[in-house]
Chain A
Amino acid sequence: MNARETIVADEVPPGSISVVTEAGLVAPALVITVVIYLFPLLLLVRYSFNAFKPGEFMVTALTLENYVNVIVDPYYRAVLATTISMALAVTILSLVLGIPLAHFISRSVRYKKALILLVIIPLFVGNAVRAAGWMLALGEQGLVNATLIRLHLVGSPLSIMFTPAAVLIGSISVNIPFVVLTIQSVLEGVGASVEEAASSLGATPFEVFRKVTWPLALAGIRTATVISFILSMNAYATPVLLGGPGFQMMAPVLTDEILAKNNWPLGATLAFVLIATTLGLTWGFGRLRLRARP
């Protein structure tokens, strides 16, 4: 992320605090993060190889049974498939909607700050609150149905809530801020004058986009794709609130295994299958994109 690039190796004049002191300054952060983050994750990895016997909680073992179960069991395969296809759809649609807004913000002067604030506020408000808004929009007596009925486009209310479509819409609105902010910052660096130069040389708006804006924004678009994909693979509140009990995605399922069913080994396994799938597919996209571009 950002901070990595902003750190530059520095010559330190004599008389500065010593390396040992500096190490001492870093130590608390490192120790705390290891204890409350790395150690629990390793514990979770270990548990994913344990066995679970109903009624007996967790039994220490060293077995791949959980991983085999997750891969073989059609229920978990279906959950994983739903999660992947939802994440793909959300990512593509978030990009389609987010790129124009990112470009618009990067090229606006007067309202840039206000627009950025409009993008950031939803980002921090939390997914549950935003889901509440969509519940009002998509419910039986919600805004969409009320409008459709008033316009006599439908006779009786459509059921949109608790469908994949509702989750899709909700997740897109969760992901758009990330997509917009990532691509906007890259376009900001590209600058408007390159596009103006292209148009002064006779490039039509389509050609400007295809020959200049797109190739220069590609790095940002890639990052945005990855972020959006990871986010939607791990979505919790949106599928729970908008998808309803019948709609299963990985994050709620693994939470349920651990918290409600106390099946830690399976929950842990699902967690790492989720991470592995996410990373694997993300890596795969990268390869795919490289192959496609000579």
Chain B
Amino acid sequence: MSITDRQSAPGVGADRRPARAADRWYAWVGIGRAIYFVGVAASLFCLLVPLVLVMWLSVFESEIPAIPPSGYTFGWYGKALANKQFTGGASLSFEVALLATLVGLGISIPASLALHRRRVPFSGAIVQFLMSPMILPAIVIGAGLYVALIRLEIATGLPLVGSTMGLGAGHVLLTIPWCLRLLLANICGVNRTIEEAAASLGAKPFAVLGKVTLPLMWPGVVAAALFSFVVSFGNLEISLFLVAPGQITLPIAILQYLEWRIDPSVAAISVLQILLITAGLLLTDRFVPLTKVV
């Protein structure tokens, strides 16, 4: 049989299904497509409903979150900002996130410069080890750090649990993996021939690093900094073990408040957190496209 043999007249080759069956078939395809779009919509719905509702609640007039609301007001934002738990939590979160980001960057930049060449023995294993806090349950990491800090407290007499230092240490375990991930991905984008060009022009190894490689990976550094900050600012599980009464981060403050009650003021502070984090993400996107980060 030749490949050009026709089984039906030209132009009707595709009409292999009888017309009526085809109609029914298209109906099934329509149903399938509908299910697909329902899945897409439901998925987006699940993602956005909580955020939208929090924003809605933050402008409810009445303290009791009843739907439909009796009226609207922006007054809760003022009340939320007057709440010492929230403002204290926000400032501690800010402090810890800043500290963890700076420390994380400070040790990740040199590490990534060395690790991306894979000359140090066991580079692959080292990278995996440094990244592993990303995968290990944060609760377990927090618990481990908590017992270790208590031991250290007993040994040294220093108040570590609940201190900014102790929290910062825990959050560094969040920032190192993210910094490394972003920096390593970014260094690989730096054209090696540019470094070679610098060397051929007489730049010594450290001059190449400082004057060429680092400036070229600048977008990665900025993205790593912003991303680390966002991840640290929003962390709950590790902080859970490392805070002390009167020394709590914003996510913990929100959690503890919610365990007790839900009202528009906690929604208002949540909206502020959402806005801060969204701003951080949008800013990151300007340096390294978010599609490449996550």
Tell me if chains A and B make direct contact, with any CB pair below 8 A. Answer: yes
Chain A residues with CB under 8 Å of chain B are: 1-4, 6-10, 12-13, 15-17, 19, 21-23, 25-26, 28-30, 32-33, 36-41, 43-44, 47, 96-101, 103-104, 112-113, 116-137, 139, 141-143, 145-146, 169-170, 172-173, 176-177, 180-181, 202, 204-206, 230, 233-234, 236-237, 240-241, 251, 254-255, 258-259, 264, 267-268, 271, 274-275, 278
Instruction: Assess A139 versus B127: contact at CB under 8 Å? Given A118-B47, A204-B29.
Output: no
Q: Are A124 and B43 in touch, CB under 8 angstroms?
A: no
> Which residues does chain B contribute within 8 Å of A103, judged by CB atoms?
36
Q: How far is the CA of A25 from the CA of B110 in the complex (A)?
A: 5
Does B130 sit within 8 A of A, measured CB to CB? yes
Q: Are B43 and A44 in touch, CB under 8 angstroms?
A: no
Cβ contact of A129, chosen from B115, B128, B140, B273, cutoff 8 A: B273
> Which residues does chain A contribute within 8 Å of B53, judged by CB atoms?
133-134, 136-137, 143
Q: Are B49 and A173 in touch, CB under 8 angstroms?
A: yes
Q: How far is the CA of A245 from the CA of B253 in the complex (A)?
A: 19
Does B241 sit within 8 A of A, measured CB to CB? yes
Q: Are A135 and B49 in touch, CB under 8 angstroms?
A: no
Chain B residues with CB under 8 Å of chain A are: 14, 25, 28-29, 32-33, 36-37, 39-40, 42-44, 46-54, 56-57, 64-68, 103, 106-108, 110-111, 113-120, 123-124, 126-131, 133-141, 143-148, 151, 169-170, 172-173, 176, 180-181, 184-185, 188, 192, 196, 199, 204-206, 209, 230-231, 234-237, 240-241, 251, 254-255, 258-259, 262, 266-267, 270, 273-274, 277-278, 280-282, 285, 290-291, 294
Q: How far is the CA of A219 from the CA of B50 in the complex (A)?
A: 30
Q: How far is the CA of A172 from the CA of B43 in the complex (A)?
A: 9
Q: Are B184 and A28 in touch, CB under 8 angstroms?
A: no
Q: How far is the CA of A122 from the CA of B47 in the complex (A)?
A: 7
Q: Are A146 and B68 in touch, CB under 8 angstroms?
A: yes
Instruction: Assess A10 versus B118: contact at CB under 8 Å? Given A40-B148, A124-B231, A237-B236.
Output: yes
* Cβ-closest chain B residue relative to A137: B53
Instruction: Assess A133 versus B259: contact at CB under 8 Å? Given A1-B181, A104-B40.
Output: no
Interface centre among B50, B106, B134, B135, by most chain A C-beta atoms within 10 angstroms, is: B50
Q: Are B138 and A234 in touch, CB under 8 angstroms?
A: yes
Q: Are A206 and B32 in touch, CB under 8 angstroms?
A: yes
> Which residues does chain B contribute within 8 Å of A141, judged by CB atoms?
64-67
Instruction: Assess A118 versus B205: contact at CB under 8 Å? Given A7-B118, A230-B135.
Output: no
Q: Are A47 and B118 in touch, CB under 8 angstroms?
A: no
Q: How far is the CA of A129 from the CA of B234 in the complex (A)?
A: 10
Q: Are B115 and A26 in touch, CB under 8 angstroms?
A: yes
* Cβ-closest chain A residue relative to B119: A19
How far apart are B3's CB and chain A's nearest CB, in angstroms?
A: 15
> Which residues does chain B contribute within 8 Å of A96, judged by CB atoms?
39
How far apart are B101's CB and chain A's nearest CB, in angstroms?
A: 14
Q: How far is the CA of A180 from the CA of B54 in the complex (A)?
A: 23
Q: Are A133 and B144 in touch, CB under 8 angstroms?
A: no
* Cβ-closest chain B residue relative to A113: B291
Between-chain CB contacts (< 8 Å), 19 pairs? A7-B118, A7-B184, A19-B119, A22-B113, A33-B129, A33-B133, A40-B148, A116-B290, A118-B47, A124-B234, A125-B234, A136-B56, A169-B46, A234-B140, A236-B237, A251-B137, A274-B137, A275-B136, A275-B140
Q: How far is the CA of A141 from the CA of B113 in the complex (A)?
A: 56
> Which residues does chain A contribute within 8 Å of B262, judged by CB atoms?
132, 135-136, 139
Q: How far is the CA of A37 from the CA of B140 in the complex (A)?
A: 10
Instruction: Assess A173 versus B131: contact at CB under 8 Å? Given A33-B176, A116-B290, A236-B236.
Output: no
Q: Are B111 and A3 in touch, CB under 8 angstroms?
A: no
The 10 closest A-B pairs by CB, nearest first: A133-B50, A100-B39, A40-B144, A22-B114, A40-B148, A25-B110, A101-B43, A141-B66, A234-B137, A25-B114
